[in-house]
Chain A
Amino acid sequence: MIPVGFEYARPDSVDGALALLAEHGDDATIMAGGHSLLPVMKLRLAAPELIVDIGRLRELNYIRVDGDEVAIGAGTRHHDVEVSDVLAAEVPLLPAVARTVGDPQVRHRGTLGGSLAHGDPASDLPAAVLALDATIVLRSPRGERTVPATEFWTGVFTTAKEPDELIVEIRVPRTGSAGWAYEKFTRRANDWAIVAVAVVDGRVGLVNMGSTPLRASATEAALAEGRSIADAAALAGEGTEPPTDTAGTPEYRRNLARVLTRRALETAAGR
């Protein structure tokens, strides 16, 4: 449980971090909350030569309304998302999802940007961000670009982010009073989801149903056609290739996706 040795840098600005990334290329790795990165380093599954710690950059830590969207700094901790009044009013799904991540210690360290960048299909926030039709703002010495959440995740632990890019912001459309719900299914309270379903405004995001967070498009289409919740939810497992592990088989996960989608849609409809 002792990682391979590494160099450590804590730049005092985003530009400083970007400069280090540009200089060191693949040898450098960003650390935000460290709660995904450090465990893999301790298991020696990752051995970066240089850690660039952005965890204390205040310029990445904010939540503010910006037109039709809420802009969230990539360094915002799960806990800050959880207790944000702005989000509670404008995007209530997000605090509810953040509240289910790990335990209080984890939520006080882990960041939204880190969770999205890590790209674990079993994580909670990516599927929520996906269901919210958010956009992810990336910055590099080459400039800034935005990627829609629907195009951000490309495989297990892989994203559209280039090695020299930093996630700086997540822009989430204001959903206001639209119905929402999050159904996370775990064995234990602070576990990762076996499957989870995020519903907001008729859109459905799935956790741990494939190599990336997914949208249940068949369900969404059925809802758009005005079909019943039960009928729409029955399609939630369609087109998915969920993993097999000690917690579940693909058949079991598809069942969970259907049941949880139905429950989430029912809750959302009642909100």
Chain B
Amino acid sequence: MSIMGTRVVRVEDPVFLTRGATYTDDLTDERLSGALHLTLVRSPIAHATITSIDVEAAREAPGVVAVLTGADIDLPAPLLFGGAPKQMVRPWLATERVRFVGEPVAAVLTEERYQGPDAAELVDVDYEPLPAVVDVREALKDENLLFPDAGTNTCSVYNKEDPDPDFFADCEVVVTREIINQRVAAASLETRAASAVWGDDGRCTLFVSNQNAQGARDEVAGWLGVDASQIHVILPDVGGGFGAKIGADPEFALVAWLARHTGRPVRWSESRSENMTGMVQGRDQRQTITIGGSRDGRVKAYRLDVIADAGAYPRLGVFLPVFTRMMAPGTYDIEKVDSRATVVVTNTTSTAAYRGAGRPEATSAIERAMDLFAAEIGMDPAEVRKINVVAPEKFPFTTKGGVEYDSGEYAKAIDLALEASDYATLREVQKARRERGDAKQIGIGVSSYVEITGGGAFVENASVEVHADGTALVWTGTSPHGQGHATAWAMLASEQLGIPVEKITVRHGDTDHVPEGGGTMGSRSLQTGGVAVHQASLELIDLAKQRAAEILEASVEDLEVDTTNAAIVVRGAPGSPTVTFAQLAEREELKVKTVWDGKKATFPFGSHVAVVEVDTETGKVTVERIWAVDDAGPVLNPLLCEGQRHGGIAQGIAQAMLEEVVFDPDGQPLTATFADYGFPSAAELPSFDLVTMETPTPINPLGFKGIGEAGTIGSAPAVQSAVVDALAHLGIRHIDMPTTPLRVWEAIQDAVKEDG
């Protein structure tokens, strides 16, 4: 019986549930014995000139081995995103100017961890405050520059062509609106951490919490100016990344540099407060959406203008509007699509990837546009969507966003979601409540989405080795941090080889064992790394057959795998001699390494229906139910897939109703603790209704697409739309995320005022 599509229980959980994970900060590796502890002195001011830094008192504090400032570090300051103006480099430790609250200014190294914060308090930094640039429109004016040498706050412009004034000329109806896709924090429960030690061989062993060991190695090596072969990155267990742990943090290289400088191992692990200002944050786009079409529901033209906030030092966030533009038309077949994006720096934490990374911003924009259009022409929002989605016979479909959608049945996904939710009945319940004038109204939101997974990193490697004792070892270039690859990759190998999952070990995250690898991000792992394991297993069978042919005195063509016994047998000859993989491994190493190249991205899609209750007297939103159709092709393990969907949906709901990183006009963070930052607990979420739909991609032999981010992308617009829908009878057409009680209540007050 095939193991594919079955609910194999996660093999990684027994350890997590008993002994617990070993995160970077938990390591007791003997290479790290005698390590110094790094404490960073961080700027309390968002924008200021540094007039002096006095470290003398700190040097005298108990346990202090060294206190360093930027002047002590002989490395060129790195440009963290290649495409940004070259002046926008981030100093290792700020010397002349600080540009966000939380920017490192001095490094304190102590014998014991607890001594660090006491000594750090004694570092005396004089700041002369500068006006803070917090709002992107303010940044665009270029009146206060973060990098005067650059002469501008703009770090990237995508599409410099002037908009065509006649773009919407043939549209009967045109609606436009500025909306905000707010900034959110990844808030991974494990904060950032790094430990470094240089060996006598002149190589650095670097333990970090990250989503891609190989990428982190290359970046750190580049920053340190050493060959990548000199850096050995090891990833211990990683307690959540959500995109924010893609790429190395400059702190990693600083830790490595300090270890070399002091000749001792150095450990660093940040506090929650540091994490909430120091770790990259996500989203943060100001969007202007304009949609036009005819009164019969056909959309003809759509324009998306984006101003994105890169934060103080340009990082991956500068690139993400490229994804937003790519995915701008969403699931819709729109004749004309136009988009542009400008990215600016501000005195805030840098931005980068966050679950969905650029694509949710596109989906939320087009979905709001569809709702606005539907409201304007007085048509049901689900109906408008179905009229405009790409028809199934058009695949592969090249969009006006310039990408090729591989496979999809968008209208069917919407229908499944509507059916599962009994949409018509929901509308009746809504009507009855409105007629009664209840204080608590319900709203129904429908989203249709398509996203891009495995975008940009199509290549992945895997090795599979069978041992003489019948066990197997798989090495992968992906980098699981909760996704369950140890289970899933074992299933893929087991399916072909017949070796039980319990006997297959999956390892990752060590650049000496796996020098290449794309890590885990962008929902790429199964369709690249998983397929590579599948391919490696097939190649291992080929190798085994060649060797078995000799032993069994049969021709290779006559051999097949007996998965019941993990053996090679002669086809159609029961009772004839066989040889197991283990026996073959006993004679000679039985191992293959392979590289899979998918060459293209895949495009999972789906549709969500959300029902919310809005208390019109208080503005409080409660998500009552959510039905999710998330089609990412065939499902390898429903348990893992549902887990990804659950987490994704939760994060999407959280963005829609709770989470927002807020800075005051001086650039002070107002949401830097878990008491203030609104991430949800189970109590804020309903049980999710998951609907199955599986449309394979032709891009890989197993038909897999990615599922990691889908839930987030589909749920946020559905919930936001539902909140607006609950208040549609008051004339409300839009409320920005997060739809907090305050914001919803204020929208109601405004609507009532306008009405009166």
Contact = CB atoms under 8 A, between A and B. Distances in A.
Interface of A: 1-2, 4-5, 43-44, 185, 187-192, 194, 245-249, 252, 255-256, 259-260
Interface residues of B, number: 30
Contacts of B127: none
A12 to B, nearest CB: 28
A84 B18 CA distance: 34
B118 A1 contact: no
Given A188-B658, A260-B618, 18 more contacts: A1-B273, A2-B116, A43-B273, A187-B658, A187-B740, A187-B741, A188-B680, A188-B681, A189-B684, A192-B675, A194-B741, A247-B740, A247-B742, A248-B742, A252-B742, A255-B745, A256-B618, A259-B618
B508 interface: no
B739 to A, nearest CB: 11
Nearest to A247: B742
B615 to A, nearest CB: 9
Nearest to B680: A188
B113 A246 contact: no
11 contacts: A2-B113, A2-B116, A4-B118, A185-B620, A188-B658, A192-B675, A246-B662, A246-B671, A255-B617, A255-B745, A260-B618
Given A2-B114, A44-B117, A189-B684, A249 B742 contact: yes
B215 interface: no
A188 B114 CA distance: 33
A182 to B, nearest CB: 15
Contact of B617 (A187, A246, A247, A259): A259
Interface string B660-673: 10100000001100
Contacts of B683: 188-190
Interface in B580-623: 617-620
B271 interface: yes
A192 B673 CA distance: 13
B676 interface: yes
Contacts, number: 59
A1 B673 CA distance: 11
B618 A185 contact: yes
B683 to A, nearest CB: 3
Interface in B727-750: 740-742, 745-746
B379 to A, nearest CB: 34
B271 A1 contact: yes
B678 interface: yes
A185 B617 CA distance: 12
B272 interface: yes
B671 A189 contact: no
Contact of A252 (B116, B118, B671, B746): B746
A2 B117 contact: yes
A255 B741 CA distance: 12
Contact of B272 (A1, A249, A256): A1
Contacts of A259: 617-618
Contacts of A192: 675
Nearest to B683: A189
B117 A252 contact: no
A190 B676 CA distance: 12
Nearest to B676: A246
Contacts of B272: 1
B479 to A, nearest CB: 27
A116 B680 CA distance: 28
Contacts of A260: 618
Contacts of A246: 660, 662, 670-671, 676
Contacts of A245: 670
A47 to B, nearest CB: 10
A196 to B, nearest CB: 12
A2 B742 CA distance: 34
A185 to B, nearest CB: 6
Contacts of B671: 246
Most chain B CB within a 10 A radius of its CB, from A185, A192, A249, A252: A252
A194 B743 CA distance: 14
Nearest to B116: A2
Contacts of B273: 1, 43
